[in-house]
Amino acid sequence: MTQKIITQKRKFQLYVVGTAKSGTHSLAGIFSDHYRSGHEVRWAEMIRMTLDMKNGMIGRDSLAKWIRKKDREDMYEVDSSQLNYWFLDILSSEFPGAKFILTIRDCYLWLESFVNHSLERPCDDLWKALRDLRFKKDQFKYAEQEDVLRRHGLYTLDGYFSYWAEHNERVIRSVPSERLLIVRTDEISQSFEKMAGFLGISSDTLDHRKAFLFKAKQKFNILEKIDRQFLAEKAKAHCEKLMNKFFPEQQRF
């Protein structure tokens, strides 16, 4: 079946490129009333492409061709997804007029949210393979202090915190500063004017009611079962630079 190509002109082109559980779902919702907005569009295809790329089964040219085709067919004004991270260089170079928003969350609150999400919603094989890649399943070993993570089928603190740091650092490093807006997750509801100005639109077209979508329904309190000093040391090893820059009020190191 041939995919219908949308010919309506976009008012802007935005990629939201935050980590999982940093507000990408909320950003898609905020724009959805007045703009073509999608969250984790074609996620299965994107994960397969990511895994093939990391395994050396597909090259950059083929990925760029697929990204261009996807863009022509979908024509989203707002494409919001944690998965955009893996195609960051292609998105930036192929669409020089596109802008990017990085949603960034306190690393401790991010980890707590991701752990709750993982335990609340079992994932399929594709998401499991991506998590194994992101959180470096084969690289890091569990310390005695984090055995609770192993018993619950979760990853190591090194795996989680290194992903958080690498994702955010790479976005900041790779996207030209004039095309990138960084928004703290806890400040999304206060950032409507800033986001609207960045895109050249009216803030009245953004829906304040959707600033906090897809919250976890359950809290499992897993991190409370890990020694606080050990947790802080692992966070400091990977996240100190970004935390000091974007969350200076958090005195946890």
**Which amino acid, 220?**
F
Residues ≥6 apart with Cβ < 8 Å to 161: 107, 111, 234, 235, 237, 238, 239
Helices 60-74 and 43-54: angle between axes, nearest 10 degrees: 170
Mean pLDDT score, 241-252 = 87
Higher pLDDT, 194 or 1: 194
Least confident of 5-14, 50-59, 85-94, 127-136: 5-14
Token duo for residue 251:
């005195």
**Containing structural domain, residue 74:** 14-246
110: domain CATH number is 3.40.50
Give the per-residue pLDDT at 5.
44
Q: How far apart are CA 116 and CA 95, in angstroms?
A: 35
Q: Is 252 a domain residue?
A: no
Give the per-residue pLDDT at 60.
93
Judged against a pLDDT cut of 50, whether residue 3 lies above it is answered with no
Judged against a pLDDT cut of 90, whether residue 19 lies above it is answered with yes
Please give the mean pLDDT across all residues of the chain.
Answer: 92
Mean pLDDT score, 107-120 = 95
Mean pLDDT score, 47-62 = 95
Q: Is 9 a domain residue?
A: no
Give the per-residue pLDDT at 215.
60
Helix, strand, coil percentages for the chain (3-state, nearest 5): 55, 10, 35
Neighbours of 228 (CB within 10 A): 10
Q: Is 232 a domain residue?
A: yes
Give the per-residue pLDDT at 208.
82
Q: Is 133 a domain residue?
A: yes
**Which amino acid, 70?**
K
Q: How far apart are CA 158 and CA 152, in angstroms?
A: 16
Give the per-residue pLDDT at 4.
43
> H or E element: which one contains 191?
none
**Which amino acid, 139?**
Q
Alpha carbons within 13 A on the beta-carbon side of 88: 24
Q: How far apart are CA 27 and CA 207, in angstroms?
A: 10
Q: Is 253 a domain residue?
A: no
Judged against a pLDDT cut of 60, whether residue 147 lies above it is answered with yes
Q: Is 2 a domain residue?
A: no
Q: Is 200 a domain residue?
A: yes
Cβ pair 210, 199 in contact under 8 A: no
Residues ≥6 apart with Cβ < 8 Å to 40: 24, 46, 80, 81, 82, 83
Per DSSP, the residues of 196-237 read HHHHTS-GGGS-GGGTT-S--S-----GGGS-HHHHHHHHHH
Percent of the residues in the chain that have a pLDDT greater than 90, as a whole number: 88
pLDDT digits (tens, 9 = 90+) for 164-219: 999 999 999 999 999 999 999 999 999 999 999 999 999 999 988 766 655 656 78
Q: Is 186 helix (H, G, I), strand (E, B) or coil?
A: helix
pLDDT digits (tens, 9 = 90+) for 88-111: 999 999 999 999 999 999 999 999
Q: What total number of domains does the chain contain? A: 1
Token duo for residue 1:
């079946």
Q: Is 168 a domain residue?
A: yes
